[in-house]
Structure 1
Amino acid sequence: MSERVPEGWQASNLGDLASKIEGGGTPSRTVPEYWGDDIPWATVKDLKGVRLTSTLESITQIGLEQSASKLVPANTMIIASRMAVGKAVIFDKNVSINQDLKAFFPKKMLDTQYLLQWYLSKAEVIESLGTGSTVKGIKLDDIRALPIDLPPLSEQQKIAKILTSVDEVIEKTQAQIDKLKDLKTGMMQELLTQGVGVDGKPHTEFKDSPVGRIPKAWNCVTLKNLSKRITDGTHQAVKTSADGTIPFLYVSCIRDGSIDWEKASFLTEEMYELASKGRKPENGDILYTAVGSYGHAAVVIGNTRFSFQRHIAFIQPNHEKIYSEFLVSFLNSPLGKKQADLYAIGNAQLTVTLGDLGKFKVILPEIAEQRKIAKIFNGIDNKITVVQRKLTNLGNVKKALMQDLLTGKVRVNID
């Protein structure tokens, strides 16, 4: 027995534990009769979780029969062999699959729920095996060759039960976040078109504006007229460093109205001074993603020194006219996103130019009302942050349990 295999476990390759691995296909898009509401049809786009209940599209029985798609029984592990390499899911119903997915049918000595947890624990390894310059894919031979140490079936089932219970808490926590985000979206639609009123009295008179119906007392002006300056990040060739201490932000660092510092790289003092020349944001300034994943805004809070790439726009609001948190809420709202979509240009990477960003029409209540509206949004954001922190902690707990239980480092008691 190999020293790396826990006592009572069996060293094997994943392919030896499969009765079959089956791929799918796509019915012809030119035949309307192949598409409908009869049979759920899964693609990589549907893999947004671990245990799924629905798909974006469906096909008919004749569509299934006239294509390479396969009907996979409920509670079968389905993996991505292209694009989302490393992902695995289980559907709670029979589902057909396309050519980028594979259904894994285990032999009797391998529990499907345990297999799912084991496969997810190897996501980074599996992803690293993917090949392809634009879209990565993984060969079935590489999947079959994956080494796996297999506990007895009863131990597999106990391990799977423990990890699945954590997944259930994670799913409920994510549902809380989604609910809060939906609440915020709904309130944005209401508060940014009706306001909260003045002196406790709601607005009763409204008018048309470039962004829709708004209270009569409000104005609607361009972002340029509300800003002291609109520019972008450094155009210097920036070299990040493991020895650096000053954050350097990318477009991916600006999400959900805040800055994700954990995704930043770092610059040395010398590189920071070069990159930040003329671009040193201060408390209350705004960052806005303008290239690629455009349309995300965040307020700079505090006086942390940092630099940022040129794909991020840098807005210095005129604080006498507009409250920063209110402006960010507007830019992140459906009203702001609609304007971003209107101005975005380009093929490979859509871009909102600085000139067009300055043309954005911004609703303008009195400062006092702006602050009240922003306070309501900030209250929801704070709740989201608390639940998001809980979700992160649960993810760390899950990773630790996977490392302990799926390697045999910690053994479970079998009743």
Structure 2
Amino acid sequence: MRRISDLIDGLAAGVSVRSVDGAGLGPSVLKTSAVDQGRFLPNEVKTILAADRGRARCNPVAGSLIMSRMNTPAMVGDVGYVDKTYRNLYLPDRLWLARSKRGARTDMRWLTYFFASEPGAALLRGLASGTSMSMQSIPKDRVLALEIETPDADEQRAIGGALAVAERLIATLERLLAKKQAIKRGMMQELLTGHTRLPGFTAKWDELRLGDHVSYVKNVALSRAQLDTSSALRYLHYGDIHMTSSTVLDAARAPMPRASSAIAGRAGLLCVGDLVFADASEDPDGVAKSVEITGVPPEGVVPGLHTIAARFEKRVLADGFKAYVQFIPSFRTQLLRLAAGTKVLATTKAHVSSVVLSLPAVVEQRAIATVLRDADKEIAALGVHLAKMRAIKQGMMQQLLTGRVRLPAEVAR
């Protein structure tokens, strides 16, 4: 057991300076969001105003730890490891910087991972206090007085190195996932507008008004409190549409709220191929958010509160392609122009029906959907891989940072 004051040379803070959003315009001050669960994010900055640049102090330096001393209750005490020196960046007064105490040989990467782990983070959060529940702060003397179980310097370095390898793998997967997502966005922009055509397709696209080729399935508005968990009938709530990252919904397999079968006579049952929109959003990006139904259970599923369930003629919109209609730029533009409301933007059946789109023949729609669906599968597989790698790292932290599992002696040398 060793005190934090025996491991680090103190906790140095920056100063409060006036700044503006944006980076790359001169010396910058870090935001409190520059530390996130052990990571240091040097792009989370604001540019310091020229009049205050002479006041800025305390640079992030290689081999140091940065800690958030003031933040929301969930994020106070968050930490990040700094692997190189940044001469043009400065800490604000809400962040502390710590370096290894001379002679202690503390591995600051190991200490960062300790405070990023659940036990370590809980220790720091337990020190926080404040009159406001939205903002809490940690006293410096209480951090320095903390006592933690500490392996010797060689084992610290070995643990930090092992976790850093996992961290690098995660970062690589994150970059690859972001790249694949950007590629898919570019593919949608090209293929859904006809700027780029798939091989073998040259036929002219036709304009059509959606209202000439759609019918609507009657929905039923129930609050969460009115749902019946004992019923078999499934209920699609608009919040479930907003919360999913997928463009499709297999209602036969997805966990969904249940509604009393007594309401079935008041609402229509969804079918495979139906496109269900959330008709309200607080965010412009949520306007036109929809899912295409790819499976229904025998007991049925009904469209619920704040949903618009559209059933398009299959000769006009192909199954599989409907999921991507929400990403057609002109579709979003038309719905955004019509969306009404100040705090909440509302879409109606009339709005959807009024949209005019330029669309390819159904056979080309199916080909476009296949390409985009393959991209979605690749992205989903990467997401699963990334989640597993994060879980592995979390498990490593729980075992190595508590001493439950020890590294081989030769690794620690």
With the length of structure 2 as denominator, give the TM-score of the two structures: 0.74
Structure-2 residue corresponding to 1:303: 296
Structure-2 residue corresponding to 1:236: 223
User: Structure 1 counterpart of 2:31, which letter?
Assistant: T
User: Structure 2 counterpart of 1:59, which letter?
Assistant: I
Task: Note the C-alpha offset of 1:404.
Answer: 0.8
Deviations 1:155-196 (A, max 9, x none): 111111111101111111111111111111111121122266
Task: Note the C-alpha offset of 1:135.
Answer: 7.7
User: Structure 1 counterpart of 2:294, which letter?
Assistant: I
Structure-2 residue corresponding to 1:317: 312
1:257-406 correspondence to structure 2 within 5 Å: 257-258=247-248, 267=257, 271-273=259-261, 278=267, 280-289=269-278, 290-293=280-283, 294-295=286-287, 296-304=289-297, 310=305, 313-339=308-334, 341-348=336-343, 350-355=344-349, 356-406=351-401
User: Structure 2 counterpart of 1:385, which letter?
Assistant: A
Aligned mates of 1:411, 1:42 — CA distance in 2: 36
Aligned mates of 1:220, 1:132 — CA distance in 2: 60
Aligned mates of 1:99, 1:177 — CA distance in 2: 35
User: Structure 2 counterpart of 1:137, which letter?
Assistant: M
Aligned mates of 2:149, 2:131 — CA distance in 1: 32
Task: Note the C-alpha offset of 1:313.
Answer: 4.5
Q: CA RMSD in A?
A: 4.2
Structure-2 residue corresponding to 1:85: 75
Aligned mates of 2:146, 2:267 — CA distance in 1: 52
Q: Does 1:165 align with 2:126?
A: no
How many pairs does the alignment contain? Answer: 383
User: Structure 2 counterpart of 1:164, which letter?
Assistant: A
Could you list the runs of 5+ residues in structure 2 that have no partner in the other structure? Answer: none
Checking the alignment, whether the CA contact within 8 Å between 2:274 and 2:293 is kept in structure 1 is yes
Checking the alignment, whether the CA contact within 8 Å between 1:36 and 1:58 is kept in structure 2 is yes
CA 1:45 to 1:159, structure 2 compared with 1: closer, same or farther past 3 Å? Answer: closer
Q: Does 1:182 align with 2:182?
A: yes
CA 1:43 to 1:236, structure 2 compared with 1: closer, same or farther past 3 Å? Answer: same
CA 1:177 to 1:230, structure 2 compared with 1: closer, same or farther past 3 Å? Answer: farther
Taking only the aligned residue pairs, the percentage that are identical comes to: 18
Task: Note the C-alpha offset of 1:241.
Answer: 8.9
Structure-2 residue corresponding to 1:411: 406
Range with greater deviation from structure 2 (382-391 or 352-361)? 352-361
Structure 2 counterpart SS, 1:38: coil
Could you list the runs of 5+ residues in structure 1 that have no partner in the other structure? Answer: 1-9, 204-215
Structure-2 residue corresponding to 1:6: none
Of residues 255, 258, 261, the one that matches 2:245 is: 255
Structure-2 residue corresponding to 1:227: 214
Checking the alignment, whether the CA contact within 8 Å between 2:40 and 2:81 is kept in structure 1 is yes
User: Structure 1 counterpart of 2:245, which letter?
Assistant: R
Structure 1 counterpart SS, 2:59: strand
Structure 2 counterpart SS, 1:65: coil
Structure 2 counterpart SS, 1:299: strand
Range with greater deviation from structure 2 (351-360 or 133-142)? 133-142
